[in-house]
Amino acid sequence: MQSITLERVNQSLNQSLDVVAWQGRFSRFIQETNYRPRYASSRPPIKENLEQEQSDAQKLISKEVLMAHWGAFIESLENEGKSLLVSSLKMCEVEAVQDGKVVLKCTKKFSFESLQTESTDLHKEAVKFFGGLLEIEIVLDKVSLAEAMKSEKSAAELFKELSETNPVIKYLIEHFGAEPLY
């Protein structure tokens, strides 16, 4: 039985795998391909024909309808038991609505990330509820996020405040000499 060491595996990988060559191939592939993910594309989708474009325009949700029914949409999601999606949506606000595109501005990073991962489900539910074409763009409000990070207290500050206000912790400190670990 032959023992395989990590060093031997690394040597054989380095000999059989030319990382620089593969990096060049991947770079060339990305530059030469026409495929671009939806979120990275800055150009509008190409329409097949004029009839398709006209039917799309007829199905777009107006700003007034969307703003009037946004709260009911969130309630319907809550009734369906999608609590994570609902709580994330409540932490965001509708910043703009134009041509069937809704821009949601999130002030919390967790909400932003949750909505990003649930974006297909959110889109599907929104189209089902509003009954028309709707695109949802989720953006992170970095200014509000930076202000929130500055105003949040550190763990040490929170423990200190808690040890001064909480009667149970005060009792433990006074009678047993306990000290909160930061």
Binning pLDDT at 50, 70 and 90, where does residue 50 land? very low
**Could you give the domains of the chain?**
60-147 (3.30.300.180), 152-182 (no CATH)
Residue 141 CB coordination number (10 Å)? 17
Q: Retrieve residue 166's tokens.
A: 């909480």
Per DSSP, which regions of the chain are E strands? 92-98, 101-106, 135-140
Q: Comparing C-alpha atoms, which of 131, 87, 132 is closest to residue 113?
A: 87
Q: Comparing C-alpha atoms, which of 79, 75, 99 is closest to residue 89?
A: 75
Binning pLDDT at 50, 70 and 90, where does residue 75 land? very high
pLDDT at residue 16, rounded to an integer: 61
Mean pLDDT of the chain: 76
User: Is the whole model's pTM more than 0.95, yes or no?
Assistant: no
